[in-house]
Copies of this chain bind each other. A is one copy, B any other.
């Protein structure tokens, strides 16, 4: 299996290369009867698209999404949904000057060795452009989850060495404070919800651009309203599938949920989440579990963190090898982001939505 499909029941298959004529996605298994707000789907793509702010690449792709199957009178019919996105700013010759040089920390070398061809089109699958198709599918998954009051928010918590301060009220602000949410998602080009940190991030990225250098960052995600019971106990634990989903995004190097790596240092008596009664609900007094216990959602917020490495394409020149094994100099390249994490936020949300939607449907078979 060549790995272009994600999910068991809500199945997403993406196709198309960044340098080809279009990319697209087939969603198989979306239940019939779901109203698909095309404006919402497009708005999700707009959050991901290049050229959306001064922080991102100057490539300006409109990423117009068009559904060509699966909808009738605005609702899903049970047949596969297909969305296409034309590559409007396609400039294959842009890439020709790479010639035979393997770009450091890119997939050129591994692709060539795996598939036996030096193909710019094949390489186009490792481009972040493929994630536009995921965002389209994720938007449909969000609409499906929305019918059951499940909501997902991601945000930038770190860029380079700049981290936002801890804010115990952040989740409530993100999900419940409309004014905050709007300000956060529409006008904040960093996608970091803390204004002071956001300002520092902008300054840092602009300095990096001048240096021709790049940085990484961390995106946090929160899923609220997830019913108790999603996830399967052994290999398909909810966080295992969520982790795979995140690790499948370009440039991701790590995933943790709940207490994550820092939980290692706690004692069990500090780390255990005690059950408490809150009105009619069973909750936990802390949430080191990150909303998942034994691989199954427990109804608390699911929270997780995703590490993105620094962008590999630099404006600086680098030494590398070519196909003949000769040392060569790769010149610096323009038109790339110095930091992808602001644009990664909708991708993280999309993959989370697809994962939860899939387990939502899978859970329908749990009981008689």
Contacts and interface: CB of A to CB of B under 8 A. Distances in A.
Interface of A: 1-6, 8-9, 11, 13-17, 20-24, 26, 28-29, 31-34, 68-73, 75, 77-80, 82, 102, 104-107, 109-111, 113-117, 119-122, 124-126, 130, 144, 147, 158, 160-161, 208, 213-218, 228-229, 231-237, 239-241, 243-245, 247-248, 253-261, 263-277, 282, 284, 288-290, 293-298, 305, 307-314, 316, 318-321, 325, 327, 361-368
A191 B214 CA distance: 38
Contacts of A114: 32, 78, 228-229, 296, 363, 366-367
Contact of A29 (B1, B120, B237, B282): B1
Given A32-B114, A72-B117, A266-B310, 17 more contacts: A3-B235, A5-B5, A16-B80, A20-B68, A32-B116, A104-B272, A109-B228, A110-B229, A144-B368, A213-B267, A216-B265, A217-B264, A240-B248, A253-B264, A258-B309, A259-B309, A268-B311
A105 B365 CA distance: 25
Contacts of A122: 32, 72, 77-79
B77 A277 contact: no
B269 A316 contact: yes
B15 A70 contact: yes
Contact of A218 (B147, B261, B273, B364): B261
B8 A28 contact: no
Contact of A266 (B1, B216, B236): B216
Please give the count of copies of this chain that the complex contains: 4
A297 B110 contact: yes
B272 A105 contact: yes
Given A28-B13, A106-B294, A125-B79, A264 B309 contact: yes
A125 B295 CA distance: 11
A229 B264 contact: no
Given A104-B272, A273-B104, A365-B9, A2 B28 contact: yes
A98 to B, nearest CB: 13
A71 B234 contact: no
A108 to B, nearest CB: 8
26 contacts: A3-B234, A4-B28, A4-B234, A4-B235, A5-B13, A16-B80, A23-B69, A32-B114, A33-B367, A69-B121, A72-B119, A78-B115, A79-B121, A79-B233, A109-B275, A110-B293, A111-B296, A114-B296, A114-B363, A126-B294, A215-B264, A237-B247, A243-B243, A256-B256, A266-B310, A269-B314
